[in-house]
Chains A and B, each alone.
Chain A
């Protein structure tokens, strides 16, 4: 999750979203849980 990761595409959906969920330190292990958690954050940011 450092410089190397910064070069990745994070801004497209669904691929960039999946990349971001993979690179972040999140309190879940499985891909499904990590993406669901990240989506709750994105959804919250949009509604905020």
Chain B
């Protein structure tokens, strides 16, 4: 489609997303890039260099869009601000440029089971006094302010890059703004699962220490979720049409919960957020790791149509559409197929997804997970899909 300028193209693309999200028939199905570090390999660079050099990262992000012409990108090289944490002397990411790998250390817990009472008593105090020194050994009694000043400077450099790249991609490439400013929605289970207790610790707490786990979930939610919901409900009501989405959430902790545990530990807090989103008229993207909708879809089926778009990693989108006709779906293209399938297979699946899920709205084509490693996508397969979508 020929556009006079980037602002017209941006408005066109934003409307594609908004129509799909609100379950209206869009002019065509929008295509969302979920490429993160894969972009670096595709542009012929190494992780270690690109993740520390904002000028190089800008070049990589530009190349990604020039080559594939997506309708929006989830990441402009902003996902992992390595330089900020490294200014304090520690990184939890291990980058290996010899085999192009990047790993996050998960063999760590920042709070023992015995310390849950302490965490519940004052979450901010515990985070500051106990978790920070554990994660960053240089954050200790002899730390001079000038060492932390380096963190501040890196934070400011990162923010400057973020502002610049957002402006470049919006004004030069006609890409829509991705997620509107909104108070961060804190899910206590996700926080414990991903950061504070780790997968093993959180799983053990659910089985052996329910009382203390409930106390921690309530304390964390009171400290970090309640204020965000209060702010959200004071914001102007309705969607922000300048952005693809009004907000986003990530569901991961359900992967270690059975249905009873989900009902008991996770759902009460998820419900608070979803109810507040509906009350404030906000439309959000929810990324779902692993599988969820094969057993937990009923929780979402009675919400009004067009508020939530589930980006599904492991669930079958065709089956989920039958269970949740009120929710938009995002994804559909498995990284495994992109990386190892044929161009013909990729195009056949794309065609089917668009015809069966997108013809009347409610579908955004994307990859099923963050494209991270070199083999997460064959560039020729991805290009073929992009060309097909853009020719619609």
Q: Which of B80-88, B238-246, B322-330 contacts A (4 or more CB under 8 A)?
A: B80-88
In the complex, besides A2-B144, A41-B152, 13 extra interface pairs with C-beta distance below 8 angstroms are A6-B144, A6-B146, A10-B143, A10-B145, A10-B148, A11-B128, A11-B129, A11-B133, A11-B139, A13-B129, A20-B145, A27-B156, A44-B81
Residue pair B132, A46 in contact (C-beta under 8 Å): yes
Contacts of B149 in A (CB 8 A): 1, 24-25
A40 to B82, CA, bound (A): 16
A20 to B152, CA, bound (A): 12
Residues of chain A whose beta carbon lies under 8 Å from any beta carbon of chain B: 1-3, 5-6, 8-14, 16-17, 20, 23-27, 39, 41-48
Known A11-B129, A13-B129: A46·B195 in contact at CB below 8 Å:
yes
Assess whether B344 is interfacial by the CB under 8 Å rule.
Answer: no
B296-321 to A contact mask, C-beta < 8 Å, 1/0:
00000000000000000000000000
Contacts of B141 in A (CB 8 A): 9-11
Known A46-B127, A48-B85: A2·B132 in contact at CB below 8 Å:
no
A44 to B85, CA, bound (A): 9
Q: For chain B, residues 69 to 112, give those with C-beta under 8 angstroms from any C-beta of chain A.
A: 80-81, 84-85, 88, 92, 110
Q: Which of A1, A13, A23, A46 contacts B135 (CB 8 A)?
A: A46
| Chain A nearest Cβ from B75, distance in angstroms | 15
Q: Which of A17, A45, A47 contacts B136 (CB 8 A)?
A: A45
Assess whether B131 is interfacial by the CB under 8 Å rule.
Answer: yes
| Chain A nearest Cβ from B304, distance in angstroms | 31
Q: Which of A2, A16, A27, A44 contacts B84 (CB 8 A)?
A: A44
Contacts of B80 in A (CB 8 A): 48
- Max count, chain A CB within 10 A of own CB: residue among B136, B139, B145, B155: B145
Residue pair A42, B132 in contact (C-beta under 8 Å): yes
| Chain A nearest Cβ from B20, distance in angstroms | 30
Contacts of B136 in A (CB 8 A): 45
Contacts of B122 in A (CB 8 A): 13
Known A41-B151, A46-B195: A5·B132 in contact at CB below 8 Å:
no
Contacts of B128 in A (CB 8 A): 11, 13, 16-17, 42
B202-219 to A contact mask, C-beta < 8 Å, 1/0:
000000000000000000
Q: Which of B124, B143, B195 contacts A13 (CB 8 A)?
A: B124
Write 9 A-B pairs (CB below 8 A) sorted by A numbering. Answer: A1-B146, A11-B140, A14-B125, A16-B128, A24-B149, A41-B152, A45-B132, A47-B195, A48-B84
Assess whether B258 is interfacial by the CB under 8 Å rule.
Answer: no
Q: Which of A2, A16, A27, A45 contacts B151 (CB 8 A)?
A: A45
| Chain A nearest Cβ from B361, distance in angstroms | 34
Residue pair B144, A45 in contact (C-beta under 8 Å): no
Contacts of B143 in A (CB 8 A): 6, 10-11
Contacts of A24 in B (CB 8 A): 145, 148-149, 152
A17 to B125, CA, bound (A): 10
Contacts of B139 in A (CB 8 A): 11
Contacts of B88 in A (CB 8 A): 45
Assess whether B142 is interfacial by the CB under 8 Å rule.
Answer: yes
| Chain A nearest Cβ from B296, distance in angstroms | 25
CB-nearest residue of chain B to A47: B195
CB-nearest residue of chain B to A6: B144
A46 to B133, CA, bound (A): 10
A22 to B367, CA, bound (A): 45
Q: For chain B, residues 134 to 168, give those with C-beta under 8 angstroms from any C-beta of chain A.
A: 135-136, 139-146, 148-149, 151-152, 155-156
A43 to B144, CA, bound (A): 20
| Chain A nearest Cβ from B111, distance in angstroms | 11
Contacts of A6 in B (CB 8 A): 142-146
| Chain B nearest Cβ from A23, distance in angstroms | 4
B183-217 to A contact mask, C-beta < 8 Å, 1/0:
00000000000010000000000000000000000
| Chain B nearest Cβ from A46, distance in angstroms | 6
A24 to B154, CA, bound (A): 13
CB-nearest residue of chain A to B86: A48
